[in-house]
Amino acid sequence: MLVKKKIIEYKFSNTINLTKLFVILMILASFCSLSCSKKLTNSELKEKLNQTQESSSSQNYDIPKIVSVQKNNNLTVTIDWEFNQKDFPLNEFKIEGTSPHNKQWIQIGNVSSSLTSYSSQVSSFTFNDGFGDYQFRVIALSNENDHFYSDSFTYVYESFKKINDIYPLNIQQLPSTVLNNNKLTIKDNLLFLSDTTNQSVYMTSIVTKNAQLNLIPYSFFDENKQIIQLGKPKGIHLASNKELWLVDANADKLLKNPLPNTIKELNEITSQNINITQVFNSNPNNKSEIGSFFNPMNVQTINNTIVISELLNHRVQFLNLTNNKLLGSSISVNSDSIISSYSWLDTSLASTPTIYTAILTNNNVLFYKDQEQIHSWPSKEETNSLSNPSDLCFDGDGRLYISDTDNHEIKILYKTINPSTNSYKWNYEVKIGTKGTNNGQFNSPTAIACDENNKIYILDSGNQRIQVLE
């Protein structure tokens, strides 16, 4: 019995000693863990970063890295970048950039130090220094003001890209009269042409590039389901809500016609499937009042605003339909005859929406910000000039296309930003075409329009065709 008791006491004593040892080891391990998890000092971090740059196998101490740079339509830049260093004693990040003619790095953005993902975007830089190489970099600043630079990222702002293709539409029996200084509009592959000589409007649906197309007369019906006789159909515009707008230059009136619901109905318009046309007539006693017209040349809609340019009133009207009456304001152009105009709404450069307008006259283009003229093209120093231009349009990137009729070419202007006025400006970029009959050559180009896919449709009147520029 005595021996057995001693054995039990010995085992119990050893168990207590082992327990103490285990507790001591756990305390030491915990202390070591706390000690090892503290943030690195700046000098230690810098050494680790230097080691990382020498060894690509480590993923724990990356320097900042720019992932992508994208030019937005309003000429600002979006920069995506990342930084994976979680133990960085962070003060802040900075983003810098250079431009083609100013090679010095300038700060273009600050990033908050409260980031959790070390990824951000900046849109404060603008491509207002012309074409060429723009460089960007991200700088991480430590609490001790050490700088860790990303590799620079180069974005090339290209001039007009090489044209992929120029080809004529395969339209059968294109009337020669439709080519004489008329207008065209296209949206969702529906193309409409005005024909002032035949007092008509034609339409076609473009299914594929090489499809054979037939122009179909398109009629406007009044409330009695009678065809409205047109005097001199001029400007024509297909709005995004499928409303077709037309100005009659002889009758000085505006027509609005909702299109039929289907292409089949559009191709086979009868008195049974027509939509009634709403007609806005001018005041015959005062054609200069707002809401009346004197030889209207062009029509366009921006949301609920109707934009109409007039030849003999020398103005562009911005109208809204209120209680079935057209009310609004206008831009007057002294002495110059207005041939065409184009307006659009911009929300990028100002906190409130701004309407920009380009007005084509006999020898230049006038640019307006709301109702204030901001500049014109060509300037007196410009070597490129216009000779009897007919029409203009803009693509989705803000490039301006002018059909320069007597020069048998299309002139293209690119958009920049004027920092002093916080507004856009257009400069000459390139011209396309010479006189001839080959694809890409023109003989007195007149009407021009751009669709939602940035395809440019040009009425090549002397060659009796419509060419498409992709």
pLDDT confidence of residue 178: 66
pLDDT confidence of residue 123: 57
Domain boundaries of the chain, sorted by first residue: 61-157, 166-469
Q: Which of 275, 245, 276, 238 is nearest to 260 (CA)?
A: 275
pLDDT confidence of residue 13: 42
Q: Summarize pLDDT for 381-429 with one digit per residue, the tens.
A: 777 889 999 999 999 888 999 999 999 999 999 888 887 778 898 988 8
Give pLDDT < 70 ranges for the chain. Answer: 1-62, 84-91, 110-124, 143-145, 160-162, 173, 177-181, 261-273, 335
Task: Determine which helix (DSSP H) or strand (DSSP E) holds 446, and give its type and residue range.
Answer: strand 445-450
In this structure, what is the dihedral angle of CA atoms 194, 412, 343, 317, given to the nearest 10 degrees?
A: -60
pLDDT confidence of residue 470: 87
Q: Which of 413, 359, 360, 414 is nearest to 384 (CA)?
A: 413
Domain 61-157: top CATH class: mainly beta
pLDDT confidence of residue 36: 43
Burial category of 195 from C-beta neighbours within 10 Å (exposed 0-12, middle 13-18, buried 19 and up): buried
pLDDT confidence of residue 8: 31
Percent of the chain residues topping a pLDDT of 90: 37
**Is 166-469 CATH 3.10.20.90?**
no
61-157 and 166-469 share one fold? no
Residue type, 453: N
Q: Where in 219-273 does DSSP place strands (E)?
A: 233-238, 243-248, 253-258
Q: Measured between alpha carbons, how far is 325 from 322 in angstroms, rounded to an integer?
A: 5
Beta strands at 305-310 and 296-302: parallel, antiparallel or unpaired: antiparallel
- The per-residue b/e assignment along 12-42, b for 16 or more CB within 10 angstroms, e otherwise, is eeeeeeeeeeeeeeeeeeeeeeeeeeeeeee
Q: Which of 458, 470, 395 is nearest to 179 (CA)?
A: 458
pLDDT confidence of residue 38: 43
SS3 state of residue 135:
strand
Cross-strand partners of 97: 106, 136
Task: Determine which helix (DSSP H) or strand (DSSP E) holds 31, and give its type and residue range.
Answer: helix 2-36
Contact predicate 201/193, CB 8 Å:
yes
pLDDT confidence of residue 272: 62
Q: Where in 303-377 does DSSP place strands (E)?
A: 305-310, 315-322, 325-332, 340-346, 354-360, 365-369, 372-377
Q: Which of 33, 36, 120 is nearest to 78 (CA)?
A: 120
Contact predicate 203/249, CB 8 Å:
no
DSSP 382-445: -S---SS--EEEE-TT--EEEEEGGGTEEEEEEEEEETTTTEEEEEEEEEE--BSSSTT-BSSE
Q: Summarize pLDDT for 91-145 with one digit per residue, the tens.
A: 677 888 888 877 888 888 766 545 555 555 665 677 777 778 888 888 877 766 6
